[in-house]
Amino acid sequence: MANLIDGKKIAAKVREELKSRIDKLKKKGITPGLGVVLVGDDPASISYVTGKERACAELGMFSRETRLPAEITQEELLALIASMNEDPQLHGILVQLPLPRHIDEQKIIMAIDPKKDVDGFHPVNAGKMLLGQDCYLPCTPNGILKLLEESGVETGGAEVVVLGRSNIVGKPVANLLFRKANPGNSTVTICHTATRDLKAHTLRADILIVAAGRARTVTGDMVKEGAVVIDVGVNRIPDDSKKRGYRLEGDVDFSSVSEKASLITPVPGGVGPMTITMLLFNTVAAAEKSV
């Protein structure tokens, strides 16, 4: 029976370390500041943004939310970002995705000053990550590395299988784990919807990272005895027994997989708390660089 990787606990530890860095900055008269842009009124986006702002407040950071109607033009949004790039109070800029269809997301992200791109979504940061240069690492992949590190999981030489090739999870976490670094130095296989024999790969994995976007993509029979399983999925499963009418599940069938794994992240409470924490981490780093 697997032990749980407690994302909340590890996130709390990282935030504690951040707290002391923030206090140091404040003594120098700098409050790390995050500018948040929210376009439209998608409930999930509002909830994500609220969580991020609350986390900033808890650590004594500054955040400023600009909420815009879905009808805003691309030019207006670009002008807002240009002004945020110049604003010395804001060390990080976060544009909550997805944006309405009439807006070109790539253009908006390209407009963010890479020095303030605390999401790590700007191509220049993605490229620096790929090339092994100093940059802001994207939050979810970086949070996964931190979970592995804090749980004492040795990645060097490990067989890692990543399920999913999204820009925000699968691709970057694969690239971070095969680079010559610690954490890193893993032999990484990246699987996806075009993979022929998925089970043959997952059964080889010492560390299995599942970001497939579909509940129960991985079941116990697909996991090696003693594997470490990181479940990045967040699926809403209709459930009348819950007040809100659904429950959250990852991409992994928790009950059968936890019989095989040695360590596993729960959903919720695994990767999720780390994503926000690494956003704070990048914002504090940005503030430190501004000194």
Catalytic positions are: 52, 96, 119
- Select the residue interacting with its own copies from 63, 96, 140, 175 (CB under 8 A): 175
Q: Who contacts 161 (Cβ-Cβ below 8 Å, separation ≥6)?
A: 188, 189, 190, 191, 201, 202, 204, 205, 207, 208, 209
φ, ψ of residue 64 to 5 degrees: the values are -135, 120
Closest among 162, 119, 111, 154 to 139, alpha carbons compared: 119
* Position among 12, 57, 82, 131 found at the interface with its own copies (CB under 8 A): 131
Q: Does 191 bind its own copies (CB under 8 A)?
A: yes
- Minimum Å gap between C-beta 284 and its own copies is 23
Contact 168, 97 (CB under 8 A): no
Residue type, 92: G
Nearer to its own copies, 29 or 157 (CB): 157
- Is the peptide bond between 98 and the residue preceding it cis, with omega within 30 degrees of 0? yes
Q: Which is nearer to its own copies, 189 or 290 (CB)?
A: 189
Q: Figure out which of the listed residues 15, 52, 91, 201 binds its own copies, where binding follows CB under 8 A.
A: 201
Pairing relationship of beta strands 159-163 and 207-210 according to DSSP bridges: parallel
Residue number, 66 or 185, with CB nearest to its own copies: 185
Q: Look-up: residue for tokens 């908006």?
A: 108
Site mask, its own copies, residues 144-163, x = CB under 8 A?
------------xx-x----
Is 190 a residue that touches its own copies (CB under 8 A)?
A: yes
Beta bridge partners of 36: 65, 94
State in angstroms the smallest separation of the CB of 264 from its own copies. 23
Question: Based on C-alpha coordinates, what's the Rg of the chain?
Answer: 19
Q: Using the minimum distance from each CB to its own copies, give the nearer residue, 27 or 196.
A: 196
Interface with its own copies (CB under 8 A), residue from 128, 150, 235, 268? 128
Q: Which residues bind its own copies (CB under 8 A)?
A: 106, 122-133, 156-157, 159, 165, 167, 171-172, 174-175, 178-180, 185-192, 194-196, 201
